[in-house]
Chains A and B, each alone.
Chain A
Amino acid sequence: QLQLQESGPGLVKPSETLSLTCTVSGGSISSSSYYWGWIRQPPGKGLEWIGSIYYSGSTYYNPSLKSRVTISVDTSKNQFSLKLSSVTAADTAVYYCARPISGWYNPFDYWGQGTLVTVSS
């Protein structure tokens, strides 16, 4: 059974960089044609797609965040990571990693449990 698990600091100071890692178990991140994604959800609000990455390193980012986002992949560790720079309180959210049902332009059927990141001094 595929499992995804987010990890990283739960508290980040304003103007600093948020860094999270998603560890995939129960399957290889590089053995199938999936674009692995990051989605976030501010407390009490809706879902926002941040970006997605293929095991080769090819990425797609949400234009609203593109200038601040970097998503990378480490196939040797079966992980992919998110970096969001120059954070503000508006970046406080639960961050999820997820896998689509197939390929790239598809909905997500496997999600991590999510990790709350609070931006505060």
Chain B
Amino acid sequence: DIQMTQSPSSLSASVGDRVTITCRASQGISNYLAWYQQKPGKVPELLIYAASTLQSGVPSRFSGSGSGTDFTLTISSLQPEDVATYYCQRYSSAPLTFGGGTKVEIK
């Protein structure tokens, strides 16, 4: 199976900071990569798919990039409501697999 590794596992940043989360696939997955946001006690919400396509309704401060094995999720200006755990997910083939998550907190 293709493994997805996220880093860091957690981070703390100030409001307004630029935040970058990385996701690495153990094999190339083209751009079949999605990002989810899961706020505490809530259901995961799709933020980005096809590595860089913003899901409808998602604020433009979120962006995604990458292809092949290395991907990034960037929050251009961290807001208090962005406190959450972020997961990457590959969907190039079965089994669908998720990264371990990155917990984002406000400093």
Binding site for B on A (CB under 8 A): 37, 46-49, 60, 62-64, 96, 100-101, 105-109, 111-114
Beyond the given pairs A46-B101, A47-B89, 16 more chain A to chain B contacts, judged by CB atoms under 8 angstroms and listed by A's residue number, are A46-B98, A46-B99, A46-B100, A47-B36, A47-B87, A48-B98, A63-B1, A105-B32, A105-B93, A105-B94, A107-B46, A107-B91, A108-B46, A111-B43, A111-B45, A112-B43
Query: Are B43 and A105 in touch, CB under 8 angstroms?
Result: no
Query: Are B95 and A101 in touch, CB under 8 angstroms?
Result: no
B50 CB, min distance to chain A CBs, angstroms: 9
- How many B residues touch A, CB cutoff 8 Å? 23
A-B residue pair count with CB separations less than 8 angstroms: 54
Give the distance in Å from the alpha carbon of A19 to the alpha carbon of B1 in the complex.
27
- Majority-rule SS of B interface residues: loop
Query: Are A111 and B44 in touch, CB under 8 angstroms?
Result: yes
Q: B34, B87, B95, B96: which has the most chain A beta carbons within 10 Å? A: B96
Give the distance in Å from the alpha carbon of A51 to the alpha carbon of B84 in the complex.
25
- Majority-rule SS of A interface residues: loop
Which chain B residues (76-106) contact chain A, with CB distance < 8 Å? 87, 89, 91-101
Query: Are B87 and A107 in touch, CB under 8 angstroms?
Result: no
A14 CB, min distance to chain B CBs, angstroms: 25
A108 CB, min distance to chain B CBs, angstroms: 7
